[in-house]
Amino acid sequence: MNIEMTMVARMLLAGVLGGLVGLEREYRSKEAGLRTHFLVCLGSALFTLVSQYGFTDIVAGVANACGPGVDVRLDPGRVAAQIVTGIGFIGAGTIVLQRKTVVGLTTAAGLWTTAAIGMAVGGGLYFIAGFGTLLTLAGFELLRQLSHNIGHLKQELRVVFTAGDAAEAKTVVDTLRAAGRAVTSYSAVRSADRLKITVALAVPERSVDAGALLDELQRKPGIEVECVE
């Protein structure tokens, strides 16, 4: 197979693998779906191919101009390396703050992984690209179910307190994150010379003790706890 047909085959495979990931996201009605993942994977493969083969004529010309005995080399990773930077901007566009909760992180990570799959295809690593696609799809579905099941083992607590400044508030948030407590959302409103903070926590059911948590927070200097519920 000549080099042009190899490039075409790699681009087609990248489109197929990216489309498979995109289909799952489209089915879940996510921000980035079939077309976005298809284009990200295809574009990543294309950039990788350009990085590998796009400048051979320039290298040959420079080598001829320099004469025999001069070794002219090209780093094929320089163009491909910029894919990682570029995909960050696309992924950031899928992350939004909705009702005080960050959404779109999984889709952004999926786009990042899809770009890596495209780079693998462009570099001729077909098995790795295919296996990576299967792992990505399995991760979306199986880990979603696992996360859902774990969620049933947790209970949500809401903590409202006031602090004099951001440093005092941070000490409370750090305390709340301890002992297996996960901060799912928070908001801050300035009132007069103090900050009113509302924090939502996901805590294991067996460790829920609102009274003990209230006592722990009230011992913090400069902190006034309004409620733990």
What pLDDT sits at residue 65? 63
Angle between helices 105-122 and 34-53 (to 10 degrees): 40
Q: Tell me what pLDDT residue 75 has.
A: 72
Closest by CA to 4, choosing from 38, 49, 43, 55, is 49
Task: In whole angstroms, give the CA distance from residue 42 to residue 121.
Answer: 9
The DSSP 8-state label assigned to residue 153 in this structure reads T
Give the percent of the chain with pLDDT over 90.
Answer: 23
Q: Is the pLDDT of residue 98 over 90?
A: no
> To which residue do tokens 């779906």 refer?
33
Q: Is the pTM of this model over 0.85?
A: no
Buried b or exposed e, range 53-69, using 16+ CB within 10 angstroms: eebeeeeeeeeeeeeee
pLDDT per position as a tens digit, 115-134: 999 999 999 999 999 999 99
Q: List domains and CATH numbers for the chain.
A: 3-149 (no CATH), 154-228 (3.30.70.260)
pLDDT at 221: 67
Q: What is the pLDDT of residues 175-224, one digit of tens each?
A: 777 655 667 677 777 777 777 777 777 666 555 566 666 677 667 766 66
